[in-house]
Every structure is written in structure tokens, then in C-alpha cells.
């Protein structure tokens, strides 16, 4: 069974993150699977709407830090953060590379790169059990995947700063109030409602939806997104190489509070 499942229902293509035993944490295989599935959907004329969701009780818990290797060694930038890599393509692929509406179904927890993927989508529905957490401070990293852009766009400057630095867990109802999601659905109706909503959008002319998205992306993008993604990756690479980041990751695995020294 693939880590990234793709299925069609009418004009809607659903991309499903499928590592429930890892809470859909992103391995390279899964992350690139999502990127390529989006690219394929964007170029398929029979697909008018794209849905991205997860299996089990999680949407995506972020980067899989348990994927082998020495836990004491720093995360390799060339392995996870090479140039733009997959994490930057979440934003660039969903906003610039795809002019079809992308609906995110937040079926459960989302953290780190999982938040970046969700916020890069055009519209978000959340199950009532969904929980959102930045995650980056806990492993000594700064945001990537375009999150500094999409989150600030959705929440405003201060609320974006608070969410990212406080690293607290935000429930579905608070996420709705903040503007991180547009709708909260009872857990037992979530899959049904996600499909129903995607079908609703698919009833519109694909010309209308694609031109609408192009217009909104252009109107809301006053920066060079590719350069911004590169800036984020330079920052997180610098953060991950620091002593503090190594201490943060070790503390994460040791289940203790880290001791930071500022270098």
C-alpha cells in the first residue's frame, strides 16, 4: 500500500497521506509522493478540484524524525532541505504550480511541515478533533514550507508570531476563530462533508474556478514566493546547525525540557 494514496470521484481527486502508524509524518517518499500527485492532478483536465487529507487520527505530524540514523546527529540539510526540495514545493506547487482549487481536509493533528502543507491549500475544513501545533520550536527549527507567508496572510502579524513562538496546541474551534480554517465539522461527518464540499466546488465551471484562483493568488502575493521559500530554507538550515537545535532534538527524544545557550 502506498504512503500517498490517490483516488478519483467524479471531477474530484483526493490525495491521502497514508502512514497512520506514524501519524502521517513525512518521509521523503511520502513528501515527494504528495508533490508529484499534486503535479499530476494539476495537469489532468478531468480533475477540477483537488482534496488533500490524511488517514487515521492525524493529518500530518510533520517531518519524520525517527526515520533512522543517529538521533544525536543534526538533521542533514541536503537530505530534507536541499535547495527548495519538497518542503518548498508544498507552497509553490499548490499556489503557483496549480490553478485548481485545493481543499485541505484536516482530519486530525497537524504539526510542522504538516501545518505548512495545510496552509498552502486554498480552503481548509477541520474535523472537531483536529489539533494544530507549530512544532518548530520543539526541534530547534524555524518555519519552512512557506508558512511564514501563508500563516501571516491568514492570521495577521501578531497572531502568526504567537502561534509559531508559543508552540501551543490550537483546537479546531480556536483555529476557526483565528482564521486558520474556514469550517469545523463533527468527526463522524467529516469524510462525508469533505466529499460534499469538494463536489460543491466541482459544480462550478473549471474556467471560473481556475481564473478566480489565479486572480486571488496574484492579488495576495506581493512578494517573490520562490525567493521567500529560499529565505525560509536558509533560516531553518542555520537553525538546525546550531548547538541549541541539537539540544532541542535530544530533549525531544529524551522527553525533557531543553537547556538553551544561544549558539
Contact 126, 175 (CB under 8 A): yes
Dist CA 79 CA 33 (whole Å): 16
Classify residue 261: in a domain, yes or no.
Answer: no
Closest CA to 181 of 166, 193, 167: 193
Q: How far is CA 4 from the centre of its chain?
A: 14
Q: Which domain holds residue 17?
A: 4-188+209-254
Residue 260 located in a structural domain: no
Task: Identify the CA nearest to 138 among candidates 230, 62, 67, 73.
Answer: 62
pLDDT of residue 83: 57
Number of domains in the chain: 1
Q: Which three cell numbers stand for residue 70?
A: 543517529
Return the CA Rg of the chain.
18
Query: Is 198 a domain residue?
Result: no
* Helix, strand, coil fractions of the chain, as percent rounded to 5: 50, 15, 35
Q: pLDDT, tens digit, for every residue of 153-180?
A: 999 999 999 999 999 999 999 999 999 9
Q: What is the CATH number of the domain that holds 166?
A: 3.90.226.10
**Residue 262: inside a domain:** no
Do 20 and 55 form a contact (C-beta atoms < 8 A)? yes
What is the pLDDT, as a whole number, of residue 74? Answer: 36
The tens digit of pLDDT for each residue in 19-59 reads 999 999 998 899 999 999 999 999 999 999 999 999 999 99
Residues pairing with 133 in the sheet: 111
| Domain-embedded: residue 55 | yes
Question: Is residue 17 assigned to a domain?
Answer: yes
Answer yes or no: is pLDDT of 81 > 60. no
Is residue 221 one of the residues assigned to a domain? yes
Classify residue 197: in a domain, yes or no. Answer: no
Q: Judge whether 236 and 142 are in contact, CB under 8 Å.
A: yes
Amino acid at each position: 500500500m502506498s504512503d500517498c494514496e490517490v483516488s478519483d470521484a467524479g471531477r474530484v481527486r483526493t490525495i491521502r497521506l497514508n502512514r497512520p502508524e506514524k501519524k502521517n509524518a513525512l518521509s521523503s517518499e511520502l513528501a515527494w509522493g504528495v508533490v508529484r500527485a499534486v503535479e499530476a492532478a494539476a495537469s489532468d483536465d478531468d480533475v477540477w478540484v483537488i482534496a488533500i487529507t490524511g488517514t487515521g487520527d492525524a493529518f500530518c505530524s510533520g517531518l519524520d524524525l525517527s526515520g533512522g540514523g543517529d538521533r544525536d546527529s543534526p538533521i542533514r540539510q541536503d537530505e530534507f532541505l536541499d535547495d527548495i526540495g519538497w518542503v518548498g514545493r508544498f507552497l509553490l506547487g499548490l499556489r503557483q504550480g496549480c490553478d485548481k482549487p485545493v481543499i485541505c481536509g484536516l482530519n486530525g493533528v497537524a504539526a510542522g511541515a504538516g501545518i505548512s502543507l495545510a496552509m498552502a491549500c486554498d480552503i481548509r475544513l477541520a474535523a472537531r478533533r483536529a489539533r494544530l501545533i507549530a512544532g518548530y520550536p520543539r526541534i530547534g527549527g524555524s518555519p519552512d514550507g512557506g508558512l511564514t507567508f501563508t500563516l501571516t496572510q491568514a492570521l495577521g502579524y501578531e497572531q502568526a508570531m504567537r502561534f509559531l513562538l508559543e508552540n501551543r496546541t490550537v483546537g479546531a474551534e480556536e483555529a476557526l476563530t483565528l482564521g486558520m480554517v474556514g469550517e469545523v465539522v463533527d468527526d463522524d461527518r467529516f469524510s462525508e462533508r469533505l466529499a460534499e464540499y469538494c463536489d460543491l466546488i466541482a459544480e462550478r465551471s473549471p474556467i471560473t474556478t481556475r481564473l478566480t484562483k489565479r486572480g486571488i493568488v496574484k492579488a495576495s502575493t506581493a512578494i517573490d514566493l520562490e525567493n521567500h521559500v529560499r529565505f525560509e530554507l536558509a533560516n531553518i538550515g542555520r537553525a538546525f546547525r546550531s548547538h541549541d537545535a541539537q539540544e532541542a532534538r535530544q530533549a525531544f527524544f529524551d522527553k525533557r525540557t531543553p537547556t538553551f545557550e544561544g549558539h
